[in-house]
Structure formats: C-alpha cells, structure tokens
Structure 1
Amino acid sequence: MTDPISDYLTRVRNAVAAKHRVVDIPASNLKKEITKILHSKGYILNYKFEEGVNTQGNIKIALKYHPVSKESAIRNLTRVSKPGLRKYAQSDNLPRVINGLGVAILSTSKGVMTDKEANNLKVGGEVLCYVY
C-alpha cells in the first residue's frame, strides 16, 4: 500500500456506501488524529483504538446515520494531497470547503487539525482531505 490515508478514506467511503454500522481500519498515529477530528466535528458516532501485540493495532469507527432518513453524516470524503502531488496551503490562503460548511483536514507543524483551527493559530500545512 503506497498511500495509507487514501486507504483510510476509501474504507470509510465504502462502509458508508454499503450502510455498514462499523468499519475496521489498520491504525497509525495520523489516522488516529484524523479519526479524532471526524468525531469532534460530528461526522462519526464513536471510535475505539484497539492495540495489537506486534502491530500498531486497529481503529473501529462507528458510522453516524440520520435516525429517520438513514442518510450518512458523511456525504463526501475527498483526498486532496496525494503522494505523487502534494498540496500545501499557507496560513493566509487556507481552503474553505462548501463555504465553511465542510471541513478541510490539514497536517501542520503544530499537528493535525481542521482549517478553522489552523486559521486561528495562523499556521499552514499539507491539505490532507475535505469532508462534508
């Protein structure tokens, strides 16, 4: 696997398309931070980090659906910066997803954060993905 972040996003996208309740993903520190952001912004219901003996473990993500319409809270997950073409944004030119209704997840020198947090801290970084 050459791009673990794309694999993470694809697993979540496929689970949403198949209307699964829980998706299991191999863990890494970057994936854990992305999962925490998705939970804090209300895109997923819950998550659990399971530690492995010789491996980094797994992330179990409980996906969030509307109780009546059964529509997912995640409408779109898009990978922006890819291994072949990295995309960076400066602090004064951070991306806005659907005019502020979505979230852009950035990897900055201060850690993984959303576009709004990066704007408050006046830091730029690599734009990992868009979520809405």
Structure 2
Amino acid sequence: MKNYLWNMFANIKNGQLAKRSFIYQKRKNICEAFLKVMWDEGFILGYSIDSINTNQIKIFLKYKNGKPVINNIKTLSKPSKRIYWSINQIWKIDSSKVFIIFSTNHGLKSIIDCKRLKIGGEPFIIIN
C-alpha cells in the first residue's frame, strides 16, 4: 500500500528538479489525502483528477522565484521500520523550521494540527 506514497514523493521531487509545471500520479485515496494536506499548507498549487484517464491525478507543482517550494522530501516511518511519536515528542519539534505530516487516528494531519489537537501518531514525511 505504501509504495504508492513513496512513488508519489519521488515523482514530485524529480518533477521539481526537472522544472515541470505538473506531473501525473496513479490515483489512490492515500495519495489524495497527502496531496490535500500539502495543498492546504501551500506546497503545491493544486491537483485534479485527469479528465481522460480517471485513474490518474494531475499534480500542479509550485515554484517561488524560479526555485521549487519543496526543497527536500524525506520519509521517516517506513514499512520495514515503523516509528510513532507521542504528543510530548511532537511538542519538542520546532514547527517553524520543518513540516511533518502525521498519520493519526483522526486521519492525516500536519504537525501544527497535531499540536493543536494534542494527538500523536506515525510521522510519514518531512518537507523542507
């Protein structure tokens, strides 16, 4: 299941290195949930379901002054080694320097939402 996520993160990273305005990704619910969080936080311009092939998502990449908004995407929790952070561990992280997306029992949440709702979870990715 998670291979779709790792492929999507690699496609986004490679698309921004190649200065593409958009990329295509296979449509999965978990990928759409991650794209919604990334769009809410301003890391991508948006995404839409392709009108010709409804099994693909068109992701619009965002640039600022010719440079990609996403400098680095790093995965934390992997299928072979899962990690979970409590709310106490999350509070120790400076959320102004890094952006982390967590999988919680309330769905996918950003680090800011986890602090506001006082919930922990599994950290998936760090975006710089």
TM-score of the superposition, structure 2-length normalised? Answer: 0.88
Q: What are the superposed Cα offsets for residues 72-117 of structure 1, whole Å, 9 maximum, x if unpaired?
A: 11111111111111121111211736x5233100000000010110
| Aligned partner of 2:68 among 57, 67, 72 | 72
Where 1:34 maps in the other structure, the secondary structure is helix
The equivalent of 1:59 in structure 2 is 57
Structure 1 Cα separation of the partners of residues 51 and 2 of structure 2: 23
Q: Specify the code of the residue in structure 1 equivalent to 2:35.
A: T
The equivalent of 2:43 in structure 1 is 43
Q: Specify the code of the residue in structure 2 equivalent to 1:79.
A: T
Deviation, 1:52, is: 8.5
CA RMSD of aligned residues (A): 2.2
> Which stretches in structure 1 are left out of the alignment for 5+ residues?
none
Alignment of 1:1-132 (within 5 A): 3-50=3-50, 57-66=55-64, 69-94=65-90, 96=93, 100-132=96-128
Structure 2 Cα separation of the partners of residues 96 and 75 of structure 1: 19
Structure 1 Cα separation of the partners of residues 48 and 2 of structure 2: 25
Residue range with higher mean Cα deviation, 87-96 or 11-20: 87-96
CA distance 1:52–1:106, change in 2 (3 Å): farther
CA distance 1:29–1:52, change in 2 (3 Å): farther
Where 1:88 maps in the other structure, the secondary structure is coil
TM-score of the superposition, structure 1-length normalised? Answer: 0.86
Task: Figure out how many residues of one structure are paired with residues of the other and give that number.
Answer: 127
Where 2:67 maps in the other structure, the secondary structure is coil
Structure 1 Cα separation of the partners of residues 85 and 9 of structure 2: 21
Where 1:60 maps in the other structure, the secondary structure is strand
> Which stretches in structure 2 are left out of the alignment for 5+ residues?
none
